[in-house]
Structure 1
């Protein structure tokens, strides 16, 4: 009676090994909901892969992963002076991310032996130093001979073609800044050929690719999400049902299935798509919603079925028209989910 993620263990582990072998210096990203697989499981699997460092999203995630992974821990969210002091048992393992000159001074005043990377501001325009700021950071660090600069970090946007021109410009700025002891580049969202170019063009640097989705979710065929059919009710056209007293549009069946808003089912985030086709699809979904017909992520006989009404907290109500095979109570049906936004009742790794 649950929303279940089943993982083909052999296939998943084979994929993880192949990514690790193809990505020298790999830094697995273990953050958020653990890509649906939980932080603890991914931390343990990172230990199994034999990597020396993983990346977490925030400082609050450190305790969960630190108990299950013995190496270094990069925090991707930039450090700020209002971050609480670290557990002393973790301080030597944590690598902070710095993106402002005032934070360089503040962190080193708090912990002169802190480990950190300097983040460069990419075309994402989220965090990081511009070229002038790097020059100033280099000057400040010369006054702190005990500072432990672990390298430069680049968080690049997804898609949008090749990033190599931007990477070259940013790294040339960094080299010109004269940062003492700079020998490592930590980078997100570069793929195979781009990483090969980076290693060849900057052979004096160690390249550390930070990989999350392509590592943990790169072989979707190894993952299957299923929902349990909790109840089945026959309805005729005009029958009233649900929280909001909706009427059945025609004869069929209502399926009550596990999985609702508490799991992330039915919640949608902006896609960022701006094409005419994407806008038309949004308008179409809006029209379906107004009429009470919204396609759900639950499928029966390989066809996505309609929500009979908006999903509930832990269950959803689907409408299956007459003439369609109706699964029995207790049957498992497939569900399409966004793994990074879904919580599962059970995770089974075979």
Structure 2
């Protein structure tokens, strides 16, 4: 039994090449679950692309990247003396650290005198960084390789980035997240003597949604009568077919982050989904026989029980069915790259 990510390699790589062409100086982001593909595979893809640098999310991800990618590795997590002081990778000259505070920079340089750094500015994202008022002096002290800015999602970033660029006129290289190709072009026109290097993950690896698909194996399919109880919770079911498929909570099936619900429509959908969940009528992300059947009960660790309505032809054991999943929270058993 397996839940696999199937990838059309040629189409997937064409999308990578397009993104790279549209965003010169791109730094691939390879973090977390590797966007469903796994970090090692993405490091190998970055090698194939020939980029000079990749970015990882945390120091915990650093050893794997250093072992599978031959060039520079930028750590997006800020260096913190209280947490990272004793890490053996601090002395690797391929590592580029993110710093946001003078004390942390002093500690890092006490461990590795020529440690390579970028300074992070505190943007409207508000997560971490050096405030704009203190940034110019800190950039001079750090003698780093640039300034990095983590922006909110959406557009409209040019004005905010411009304020940073104008405040630190001596800094040439800017690492930027969540900027569009149009914004990059606008920034380059405004500041032709600066280098803007976009950090890109989702658009690079998941840009062409038709290039990949998650599929699950059918493990069992049998008719059930109305009122028959199944599963751990022994809930009675309507008549139809019980279909057991590979893929459960350990794969990320039905695991979701809190909804933003920013619009009236999104809030209404969230309320409706909550009502369905309370009534044990949650639609699954699996497509079987052209429909998305509901869960017979919450997913198990490695498989899920689905209720296929009467009148829908059941699949055969061994068939595969597509699964709609958010790949940033997916952990497939294997990646099948054609």
TM-score, length-scaled by structure 2: 0.96
CA contact (8 A) 2:75 2:98 kept: yes
1:171 equivalent in alignment to 2:159: no
Among 156, 180, 193, the residue aligned to 1:204: 193
SS in 2 for 1:300: coil
CA contact (8 A) 1:104 1:137 kept: no
Q: Deviations over 1:1-54 (max 9, x none)?
A: 200100001111111111112221111001111000011000011010010000
**Alignment match, 1:223:** 212
- Report the CA distance between 1:170 and its aligned residue: 2.0
**Alignment match, 1:304:** 292
Describe the shift of the 1:211–1:335 C-alpha distance in structure 2 as closer, same or farther (beyond 3 A): same
1:190 equivalent in alignment to 2:190: no
SS in 1 for 2:145: strand
**Alignment match, 2:326:** 338
**Alignment match, 1:254:** 242
Structure 2 distance, partners of 1:7, 1:133, is 46
Q: Deviations over 1:210-250 (max 9, x none)?
A: 110000000010001101010112111111111011001x2
- Report the CA distance between 1:136 and its aligned residue: 4.0
**Alignment match, 2:40:** 40
Q: Deviations over 1:285-333 (max 9, x none)?
A: 1111121110110012332210110000000000011101111111100
- Matched pairs, number: 337
CA contact (8 A) 2:85 2:107 kept: no
1:158 equivalent in alignment to 2:146: no
**Alignment match, 2:308:** 320
CA contact (8 A) 1:254 1:320 kept: yes
- Report the CA distance between 1:203 and its aligned residue: 1.5
Structure 2 distance, partners of 1:174, 1:301, is 59
1:121 equivalent in alignment to 2:115: no
1:285 equivalent in alignment to 2:273: yes
- Report the CA distance between 1:148 and its aligned residue: 4.4
Describe the shift of the 1:68–1:302 C-alpha distance in structure 2 as closer, same or farther (beyond 3 A): same
Describe the shift of the 1:278–1:214 C-alpha distance in structure 2 as closer, same or farther (beyond 3 A): same
The aligned runs of 1:126-137 (5 Å cut-off) are 126-137=127-138
- Report the CA distance between 1:86 and its aligned residue: 4.3
SS in 1 for 2:261: coil
**Alignment match, 1:57:** 57
Describe the shift of the 1:252–1:73 C-alpha distance in structure 2 as closer, same or farther (beyond 3 A): same
**Alignment match, 1:144:** none
Q: Deviations over 1:174-227 (max 9, x none)?
A: 23xxx5xx2210001111110011112121112111110000000010001101
Q: Any stretches of 5+ residues in structure 2 without a counterpart? A: none
**Alignment match, 2:68:** 68
Q: Any stretches of 5+ residues in structure 1 without a counterpart? A: 142-146
Greater Cα offset, 106-115 or 216-225:
106-115
- Report the CA distance between 1:87 and its aligned residue: 3.3
Q: Deviations over 1:127-165 (max 9, x none)?
A: 1111222144146x1xxxxx5411000111111x31111
RMSD over aligned Cα, in angstroms?
A: 1.5
SS in 1 for 2:134: helix
TM-score, length-scaled by structure 1: 0.93
